Amino acid sequence: MSEEETRVEKGISLDFRDRMSYGDYLKLDTLLAAQEPLTKSHDETLFIVIHQVQELWLNLIVHELELAIGKLRSDETGIAFKALARISRVQEQLISAWDVLSTMTPSDYLTFRNQLGQSSGFQSYQYRLVEILLGARDRRMLGPHKHRPEIYERLETAFHAPSIYDEAIAVVARAGFNVPRDLLDRDFSRSRPSSEALSEIWLAIYRAPQKHFELYELAEELVDVEDHFQQWRFRHMKTVERIIGHKTGTGGSSGVGFLKTALEKSFFPELWEIRTRL
């Protein structure tokens, strides 16, 4: 073994020129060149970084959700649980990022808000994809992505496929519960009303957790993810109120009023509804 090879083996190579380096591997030049404020406003850098960090975490959430959906389908529930637990931890990061953005005051934001034109969070396709993978089925939300065919197709594909909740319900059916056929064989692109039959099944699982431990754990992992999702929505709404009050949004909505109505949406209604009845 040459002297250089021995050094590499010990992890102390001194010659980095033609080897993979930290910056190359992480594409840091690209990553750190991606903060290009449109104004000289000091706080615009914070605004850009917060959004970029959120999009990076959303990317990981999509990656983990797609894994979890596939693993539930093949009854590898342990791997799906691990992915769902990781998603919850990532969501904690997303939620605490609002604390950083809250250091921006209304007057700070108004120094560059005009430059944002009509762009808004409505155009975050990763956020929309996460909602769709969790089970949201509101076709109107695809509209802002029509001009980007590849992204639109990805959203459409997820829109027509079973969500994580649809797959969880199929796991429950395969475990022997009498899930109505119309919940299993259905047009997954349609939202469905809350199902009393499904609530009864979750009630049975929650009343005998030891007997159905895997399903009970699955349900609680899902509740954790929705709980965190709602916390994110709430912190977004409150941060927006704190920064722009009740001004209308750049995306054309009423602003805070719209964000408050989004708080009423639930991905897994039966899992929340049964809690009163236990």
Ligand X SMILES: N[C@@H](CC(=O)c1ccccc1NC=O)C(=O)O
Closest by CA position to 52, among listed 108, 100, 113: 100
Q: Which does 116 bind (CB under 5 to 8 A by kind): ligand HEM, ligand X, none?
A: ligand X
Distance (Å, whole) CA 65 – CA 178: 26
Closer residue to ligand X in complex, CB, 37/251: 251
Q: Segment contacting ligand HEM (CB under 6 A): 2-10, 122-130, 173-181, 189-197? A: 122-130
The one-letter code for the residue type at 218 is: L
Q: Segment contacting ligand HEM (CB under 6 A): 8-16, 50-58, 79-87, 185-193? A: 50-58
117-132 CB burial, b ≥16 within 10 A, e <16: eeeebbebbbbbbbbb
Q: Segment contacting ligand HEM (CB under 6 A): 114-122, 149-157, 180-188, 214-222? A: 114-122
Based on C-alpha coordinates, what's the Rg of the chain?
A: 23
Does 91 help bind ligand HEM (rule: CB under 6 A)?
Answer: no
| Measured CA distances, 135 to 27, 204, 234, 253, 272 (Å) | 33, 23, 19, 23, 15
Closer residue to ligand HEM in complex, CB, 73/242: 242
Residue 141 near residue 126, CB atoms below 8 Å: no
113 in a labelled binding site: yes
Q: Is the dihedral of CA 168, 170, 173, 175 positive or negative?
A: negative
Does 51 help bind ligand X (rule: CB under 6 A)?
Answer: yes
Smallest gap from residue 6 Cβ to ligand HEM (A): 48
What is the binding site for ligand X (CB under 6 A)? Answer: 51, 113, 116, 119-121, 244, 249-251
Query: Binding site for substrate: residue ranges?
Result: 47-51, 109, 113, 250
